[in-house]
Chains A and B, each alone.
Chain A
Amino acid sequence: MSLSPTATAAPAIFHGHQIVKTYQMGEVAVHALRQVDIDLYEGEFVVLLGPSGSGKSTLLNILGGLDVPTSGDVYFRQQNLSQGGDRLLTRFRRESIGFIFQFYNLIPSLTARENVALVTDIAPHPMRPEEALALVGLSDRLDHFPSQLSGGQQQRVAIARAIAKRPEVLFCDEPTGALDYSTGKLVLEVLARVNQELGTTVVIITHNAGIGAMGDRVITMRDGQIHTIERNQRRASPDELEW
């Protein structure tokens, strides 16, 4: 079943089968994804690389239940997400998935603590907001509003918000894209720690090949298809990375 080239002991939590996504732009059809097969395993750290426009975000959005494929199926632990409709996808996002975006997307009218509480209020087994913020090193900024935080701090609040519900998977779409070099590293460190300490599966999109070294697997996309999948023998720690 698994099309992954290397066998892995951990069970697959995601299984994408023949995922196609086509955008109809008037006369032209844009093929964002062309029959993509992909598996994600419990607890692994995946780096998704590829040039701009290769379909990385589209893939991640479909896996995360933000979007539905034109054809093909996405299974999350035996459940076919492509057939659920909005209600199922909302519950799925609410309970199992954490998202992190390039532009933090915090709620400006809520403090750091409240932004995290937004999630813990509706999740079934959340950690306390303070706990989540401590994990990302922001215990001293609990009552700051987003406008009072730096970019890196805002992104860390976004991570805290994403992990506070103890999601099974964390999807990060260019989380360091808007950050400078050292702040970016800080954020990657937090993500590595979440993966290791909480056992959360993490998928990071980046067009920074250097970041690939910190993943268990590096998946490269090109032109709406998976081009290569590489397994790293050893995961580099973020402070070893260079880009």
Chain B
Amino acid sequence: MEDVCARFVSQKISKTRWRPLPAAALQPPDLFATGSWDNEDNRISVWSVGDLGNAGLNGEYQGEPQLLCDIRHNGDVMDMQFLDQERIVVASSTGTVTVFRHHQNNQTLSANQQWEKAHYHVDQDTSCGGAACTGVICNKPEIVTVGEDGRINLFRVDQKDAVRTIDNADSSTLHAVTFLRTTEILTVNSIGQLKIWDLRQQRNEPSQIFSLAGDRVPLHCVDRHPNQQHIVATGGQDGMLSIWDIRQGTMPVSLLNAHEAEMWEVHFHPSNPDHLFTCSEDGSLWHWDTSTDISEKPSFLHQGGRSTAYFSHNTINQSVVSAWLSNDPTKDRMEITNLVPNQTLSVNSLDILGPCLVYGTDAEAIYVNRQLFA
């Protein structure tokens, strides 16, 4: 816990994202971006976190995030994603999607490209009626955005117009989107449905619809297991974490009672998928750890597909089932820890990469933990 650095930044943070590491990188991430909301003057900021080895001038400031640069953003930052090492795609509450470029040489940010009125209500030509763009996901060079207008847009970076737009894809608000495969996306909406869309097909219908069993609680976030693509996790308005197996059935495999209020983000750890992180309006950030002791299982079976070097997909049989899909979560030991010491206001966003965790709250503070698995 001592490795958590906090910094008050005088703006409510809505999104935090680590800059992705180059493919063969060994060192932990050292740069992240944040977006603010509910300000008259919202900003996208880029921060750097120092090396762990350095003791700064005053020992207590060691590792505290330092602001490198920031730029004004029109509207609340609703979602943010790094397109590559230098470009960040930001979704705005005005319905505009902007690509910012971070210039490393002089540490500045500039707006590179913008799609205005990507999301709108009623008529695009009338001046009012911009609808918030609620989710953005990138798979370079493609960018998919969803919004409160129920529209799905497919952009290609450096192309002025949208490659494809699905109008009225959903009758309710689409809250989040993520890639399932390179040509398929997953969306969640405010009537508790998880939909798969195949972008190769021309029809404007989802290829599959999943929904919750009981009350149609709105779903706010979605994430796919990094290695096993049929496992999907979603977070709902009542704080419930649902794990879905999209190969079978239309209902979630397990429902885990998690938070007491809306769950804003859910993330599988990209290289360690036995670990899941969720953050919520109730001010807590939970770390779900299903990695069981290796000695308990036969030595040739490993969890989570971390080291699948010696058996191909064909030999994965039913006995190697991810802990996430087991019907009885209490049977396999799952450790759940709250990483926020004194919770006050909502934790709006989190991101994990390697051993580093960053999260931002409505109490206008950013927290960085660079030794998550120590």
- Is this pair of chains taken from one and the same complex? no
* A→B interface (CB under 8 Å): none
